[in-house]
Amino acid sequence: MLLTSIYVMLGLAIVLGALLGIAALLFKVEGDPLVARIDAILPQTQCGQCGYPGCKPYATAIANGEADINQCPPGGDAGVHALADLLGVEYKPLNAEHGIPKPKAVAFIDEATCIGCTLCIQACPVDAILGASKHMHTIIASECTGCELCLAPCPVDCISMKPLAETPDNWKWKYPVFPIKALPANSGKASA
Amino acid sequence: MNNIIQFASKLIKSLTVSDVHQFHGGVHPDEHKHESTTRPIAQLPMPETLTLPLRQHVGYIPKLKVQVGDYVLKGEMLAEAEGTVSAAIHAPTSGTITAIAEAVIPHPSGLPDMCVTLTPDGKDQWKPLTPIDWQHTAHNELIASLRTSGIVGLGGATFPTHIKLRTDGTSAVHTLIINAAECEPYITCDDMLMRERADEIVQGIAIAQHLLRATKVVIGIEDNKPAAAHAMTAASQTLTNATVTAVPTLYPSGDARRLIHLLLGVEVPHHKRATEVGIQVFNVATVLAIYRYFTFGEPSVSRIVTVTGNVAAPQNFEVLLGTPMPLLMAAAGGAKADTSHYVMGGPMMGFDLPSLDVPVTKATNCIIAASPTLFAPPPPAQPCIRCTRCADACPVNLQPQELYWFAKSDNFEKARDYNLFDCIECGCCTYVCPSNIPLVQYYRYAKSEIIALDKAQEAADLARERNDFRLARIEREKLERAQKHAERAAAAKNNLAQPESAEADKAASNPDAVAAKKAAIAAAVERAKALKQAAANSRGAEADSEQPSLAESNSAETKPDSDAQAKIDKKALIAAAMERAKAQKLAAAQAGDAPKNTENLSAKVKAEIDEIEAIRTKAQQMVKDKASDND
């Protein structure tokens, strides 16, 4: 009796162990899923304001516990909240050392001043600048993340950041607010 | 008491009207329809200017085809449809294009958008019109033609009509529903249109039925429009398998899905379109526009607008698109003195116009002059008491009170999970709310926030993809370079190795050769040294800092194979190359590096080139200044 139960338990252990082993091989997770999930929250501006050379390196640093969650100004407060939720840590306000959130803007090249040096093209993290050596450059506005990395290398300072204007296309309905109106003097008395 | 009466009337209706299928919820506000139905549809005098916004429909902005100063005839295309969901815009009358600029458009944002301004010449002369024989023309040709007609859904949704009629020849649509419910209070444009032009509407229905290959037509009219229903019944005798069905007057029976439910008892699943279950819905004014386009060749240049509310003589007008609204108000006897603002659309779903100084567009079905007596300002909102009256009134079977909590607390994911995007913004919940909470405003806020977040997420995904691609490209280029270097090095080694090995053999046999080779190397070293010295001298002051290292190199000549020597050799080579480049540049400058193809330039182009050159030299000067400043 005793032996039988030992054999049964042993058999079960071997079978289940083998199953677990096979599952571990079959459903092996490539890379660190946590990094991908953090990266999905980051705004992909690739601006480097966090002190890392892009969003993915910052995500890796957060996952490794090397960086704090409040170093991404473009992600804003909502981004920090989302990261805090994901990682199960306490929310903390954005670290002002890494910059403050700004309204979304796109780079604009003053084409009359551009000398075609290609320095901005090399700096752009998302290849959103079009041009060639000694030819005028221009920004592909729909692909610009507004990271401002092209501003510093420009030798003639012909790049400026233009905030996105509100148009009927991107206009949003506002949160309902109720203006507080002072009641006429007599009605105030009546209610009092 | 009120509830009991409502319940009783519902009970009676459900017993007596057997051919309609009541939907859940709905409200019955005061109709206010009779004010504007006492007078026939009137024409407006020709306005002094017409302002045509490019954004008059759902979808992409059409592409402009005219310039300022162009003379256009009535019906000529001003902008053509671009992209799938888009519609063309035509000149509503003959005249001159006087401006293409931003102007305020009838949009809840009150923001300006691109508009074409047309100054009529008063002749109102049509372009040569070509009617289309729709019975004997291929389906795809008709649809392609309809794409240039500018016809959009005139019920207010302004969805391009040609897309709704695309069926690829093998249509699965079996039932065509004509939406004549017009359930919103105050609006009567469809009602008057049916009373006066039922024959034309019915011919339009025949065309739509032909295009869709629909076997059955159901015309749904609310039972508060007996005259229109009568006219339509009489006219629809010519149609095959068509019925006119009166639906109970209950807002929002004019919503497409509610009307389908009322007429057919079919509930279209929330993630599907009506065409997927074989049903297509068109507004009466839209089918009339289809009729006029195919029979006379007339594109969409006018529409019927109800002008009502706080005006002296409420009436329907046939209005050219682009007509300024003040003209419309004046035609209806002018707004009364206590008018506070103007509403476009109905009181339930319409929006306050930013100002009356906007043009009529394809979406303008009604303009209401509002006054505090007609529309009392809502009492202050009270906290939600969770009475769920909004859920009882919701015609889409949503849980408005839950959506309200989620929208209020910016809990957008939850709001989406509760099917916020199925909300048709009909306003029934706001209408019944005992706490006077503007619920629809919260839903609109949440919807536009979610749409903005989705767009931002899309942009982020694109940026991530492009950044990944860029990093991969840089990595690949690095590898390719390394590989090329390795290959070159290997090739050089091979070339060297063969003669060397031969020489080694020779050297072993001939010691004289070794001595000769040593002498040759010494001579080469001497030569290099001389070259270096020359280069160093030519660099002048710049090379001052390098003098010690050069001196060191002189002192270290006994060991020419040392690392330091190699480094200095390299430096000297770079210096020599720089010298050469400089000389080349100088030569080019002296020769005058005029670009080619500049022989036959006009004075204007030359002036332009000069200007650009001036800017360029200025920029270069700035760079130099900056560099010297930094020094």
Which chain B residues are within 8 Å of A46, Cβ to Cβ?
A: 463, 467
Strand partners, B243: B218
**At A77, which CATH number?**
1.10.15.40
Report the sign of the C-alpha dihedral through residues B415, B419, B424, B426, in that order: negative
CA distance B34 to A22: 77
Best mutation target, A173, A174, A175, A191, to test chain B (most B CBs within 10 A):
A173
Residue-wise pLDDT tens digits, A137-166: 999 998 999 999 999 999 999 999 999 888
**Mean of pLDDT values over B212-221:** 92
Q: A126 vs B623: CB contact, 8 Å cut-off?
A: no
CB pairs under 8 A between A and B: 83
For residue B614, what pLDDT band results from cuts at 50, 70 and 90? Answer: confident
The tokens for B331 are 């035609």
Query: ω into residue B299 within 30 of 0, thus cis?
Result: no
CA distance A113 to A158: 6
Residue-wise pLDDT tens digits, A23-55: 999 888 777 788 989 999 999 999 999 999 999
Which chain B residues are within 8 Å of A59, Cβ to Cβ?
A: none
Which chain B residues are within 8 Å of A156, Cβ to Cβ?
A: 619, 622-623
CA distance B147 to B141: 10
Residue-wise pLDDT tens digits, B50-104: 999 999 999 899 999 999 999 999 999 999 999 889 999 999 999 999 999 999 9
Query: For B45, which DSSP code?
Result: P
Which of B109, B463, B469 is opposite residue A46, by nearest beta carbon? Answer: B463
Is residue A25 included in any domain, yes or no?
no
Asked if residue A89 and residue A38 are part of one domain, the reply reads: yes
Interface residue ranges in chain A relative to chain B, Cβ cutoff 8 Å = 39, 42-46, 54-56, 112-113, 115, 125-128, 143, 145, 155-156, 166-168, 170-176, 178
Q: B615 vs A112: CB contact, 8 Å cut-off?
A: yes
Q: B467 vs A46: CB contact, 8 Å cut-off?
A: yes
CA distance to A21, A27, A67, B140, B423, per residue, from A17 (Å): 6, 15, 38, 64, 51
Reported as type and span, the H/E element at residue B629 is: helix B603-630
Residue B2, classified by CB atoms within 10 Å of its CB into exposed (0-12), middle (13-18) or buried (19+), is exposed
For residue B264, what pLDDT band results from cuts at 50, 70 and 90? Answer: very high
The tokens for B54 are 């490019």
Q: A127 vs B381: CB contact, 8 Å cut-off?
A: no
Asked if residue A134 and residue A115 are part of one domain, the reply reads: yes
Q: Which residues of B323-332 are buried (b: 16+ CB within 10 A; e: fewer)?
A: bbbbbbbebb
Asked if residue A73 and residue A56 are part of one domain, the reply reads: yes
Is residue A1 included in any domain, yes or no?
no
- Radius of gyration of chain B, Cα coordinates, nearest whole angstrom: 39
Reported as type and span, the H/E element at residue B42 is: strand B42-43
Residue A77 sits in which domain range? Answer: 33-98
CA nearest to B59 within chain A? A169
Q: B620 vs A167: CB contact, 8 Å cut-off?
A: no
Best mutation target, B56, B349, B464, to test chain A (most A CBs within 10 A):
B464
Asked if residue A56 and residue A77 are part of one domain, the reply reads: yes
Q: What is the mean pLDDT of chain B?
A: 85
Report the sign of the C-alpha dihedral through residues A189, A191, B1, B6, in that order: positive
Which of B108, B619, B626 is opposite residue A115, by nearest beta carbon? Answer: B619
E strand spans, B223-372: 242-247, 279-283, 302-309, 315-320, 341-344, 351-352, 366-370
Residue-wise pLDDT tens digits, B282-326: 999 999 999 999 999 999 999 999 999 999 999 999 999 999 999
Out of B166-170, B238-242, B357-361, least confident range:
B166-170
Place of tokens 């695309």: B166
CATH superfamily, domain at B130-297: NADH-ubiquinone oxidoreductase 51kDa subunit (3.40.50.11540)
Which of A113, A166, A174 is opposite residue B445, by nearest beta carbon? Answer: A174
The answer to whether A142 touches A104, Cβ cutoff 8 Å, is no
Which of A46, A126, A156 is opposite residue B623, by nearest beta carbon? Answer: A156
Place of tokens 């691609």: B469
Asked if residue A110 and residue A84 are part of one domain, the reply reads: no
CA distance B372 to A171: 28
CA nearest to B409 within chain A? A175
**Mean of pLDDT values over B151-172:** 82
Q: What is the pTM (predicted TM-score) of this model?
A: 0.76
Is residue A40 included in any domain, yes or no?
yes
Q: Is B472 on the interface with A (CB under 8 A)?
A: no
Indicate whether B506 pLDDT > 90.
no
ipTM for the predicted complex: 0.82
Asked if residue A93 and residue A40 are part of one domain, the reply reads: yes
Asked if residue A91 and residue A130 are part of one domain, the reply reads: no
Residue-wise pLDDT tens digits, B561-592: 555 666 677 777 778 778 887 777 777 666 55
Asked if residue A92 and residue A113 are part of one domain, the reply reads: no
Query: For B302, which DSSP code?
Result: E
**At A115, which CATH number?**
3.30.70.20
Asked if residue A90 and residue A71 are part of one domain, the reply reads: yes
Is residue A79 included in any domain, yes or no?
yes
CA nearest to B408 within chain A? A175
CA nearest to B622 within chain A? A156
Out of A65-79, A135-149, B614-628, least confident range:
B614-628
Is residue A74 included in any domain, yes or no?
yes
Asked if residue A115 and residue A91 are part of one domain, the reply reads: no
How far is C-alpha B409 from the chain's CA centre? Answer: 29
Which chain B residues are within 8 Å of A167, Cβ to Cβ?
A: 111, 113
Which chain A residues are within 8 Å of B467, Cβ to Cβ?
A: 44, 46, 54-56, 125-126
Is residue A126 included in any domain, yes or no?
yes
Q: A171 vs B447: CB contact, 8 Å cut-off?
A: no
Asked if residue A137 and residue A88 are part of one domain, the reply reads: no
Domain ranges for chain B, please list them: 130-297, 389-509, 531-588
Q: What is the pLDDT of residue B552?
A: 44
Asked if residue A92 and residue A40 are part of one domain, the reply reads: yes
Report the sign of the C-alpha dihedral through residues B406, B411, B412, B415, in that order: negative
Q: Is B445 on the interface with A (CB under 8 A)?
A: yes
Number of domains in chain A: 2
Compute how many other C-beta atoms are within 10 angstroms of the C-beta atom of residue B4.
8
Best mutation target, B410, B466, B615, B630, to test chain A (most A CBs within 10 A):
B466
CA nearest to B411 within chain A? A78
CA distance B266 to B247: 15
